[in-house]
Amino acid sequence: MEDNKSGVGWRGLPATWMMVTAIAPIAWGSTYVVTKAVLPDEPLWGAVIRALPAGLLLLALGRRRPRGAWWWRSALLGVLNTGGFFALVYAVAQRLPSGVAATVMAASPLAMMAAGRIILGQRPRVLALLGGAAGIAGVALMLFGGDGSVDLFGILLAAVALVASATGYALATRWGAVDLISSTSWQLLAGGLLVLPIALMVEGAPPVLDGPAIAGFAYVTVVATALAFVAWFAGLRHLPAGTVGLIGLLNPVTGVVLGALVAAEALTVRQLLGLAIVLAGIALGQVRRGGRSAARQSPSDSRKLRVGAKKVLPVAAVEKSRMRS
């Protein structure tokens, strides 16, 4: 696709949004090292402690509360993208070996392409689908050692988590009529409040935090949650869902690389090969027909794909007017 006809120099701008989007999976990948090093072993409380403060921080910056339909939309997106997703991932971690779970979750780009097609009207490209398949193979090679039993119910929970998050991301894009900071804060607050009673029932009282744990949660809250989710949703507003999903494969890559650099974990030849396949899949998914990169797609073209039906634009305009302070 060529630059838009308005004469505005959009070349390179989608590439910038790709770099912004990459902040999210890289930050999420870094939480593996931080969690293993300094955070307590209560994953549900960990989700609450990272989601609620991050939501309050962004709410202080956005200074807007939901109105009208955004009350139930925020609750639904909070369930799909944060609270419900965190709880499902916790359950998956209890039932599946980490390598198996990561391999299943590596199908996220394909799930996002499917959600983008159904909800946003974005038609996935063949090369993007091949890139997603390569990502699954690469993550499996990096992390799936074949040890441990495979729980079919755990696989089902992982698949539900995939579908839930992909649906939530697509709906957040379709409903992206309010400012990014405010909508992200509402989702995090709704998700954190959802997990809070579950954490109390499953894990009991909140953990006692020492100095390193407080510092670790400060990083996870500010960088790996507040900043990361804003960057992720910003990418979804400016790029096709399939492109964003493929960039998300940087999450396990970051975890493996930081594990080697920071935690002195040895990288095997199999892991290096898997890492190379994942990166190749990400790159392949950005190539368009004629050898052009998906980063050359203009924002106007992306929006045409994203809104799908023509009726979406007037609805977005009405919601934007209703949400204006």
Measured CA to CA, the distance from residue 152 to residue 241 in angstroms comes to: 28
Residue 271 exposed, middle or buried by CB count within 10 Å (0-12, 13-18, 19+): buried
Concatenated DSSP letters for 277-296? HHHHHHHHHHB-GGG-BGGG
Model pTM score: 0.80
- Amino acid 244 reads V
Whether the CB-CB separation of 216 and 93 falls below 8 Å is answered with no
In a 13 Å sphere around the CA of 58, the CA atoms on its Cβ side amount to 28
Whole-number Cα distances in Å, 176 to 7, 118, 303: 25, 17, 11
| Residue 149 pLDDT | 60
Whether the CB-CB separation of 23 and 251 falls below 8 Å is answered with no
Whether the CB-CB separation of 70 and 186 falls below 8 Å is answered with yes
Longest CA–CA separation in the chain, Å: 59
Measured CA to CA, the distance from residue 262 to residue 252 in angstroms comes to: 15
Q: What is the pLDDT along the chain (325 residues), one digit of tens a residue?
A: 333 333 333 344 678 899 999 999 999 988 888 887 888 888 899 889 999 999 999 999 988 889 889 999 999 999 999 988 888 888 887 787 767 777 888 899 999 999 999 999 998 889 889 999 998 998 888 877 655 566 788 889 889 999 999 999 999 999 987 889 999 999 999 999 999 999 999 999 999 999 999 999 999 999 999 999 999 999 999 999 889 999 999 988 888 888 778 767 777 888 889 889 999 999 888 776 555 555 444 434 444 434 433 343 333 333 344 343 3
Q: Is the dihedral of CA 188, 204, 105, 217 positive or negative?
A: positive
Residue 7 exposed, middle or buried by CB count within 10 Å (0-12, 13-18, 19+): exposed
Whether the CB-CB separation of 81 and 165 falls below 8 Å is answered with yes
Residue written as tokens 């509360």?
65
Whether the CB-CB separation of 256 and 278 falls below 8 Å is answered with no
Whether the CB-CB separation of 195 and 86 falls below 8 Å is answered with yes
Spell out the residues 6+ positions from residue 214 whose beta carbon is closer than 8 angstroms to its own: none
Whether the CB-CB separation of 225 and 54 falls below 8 Å is answered with yes
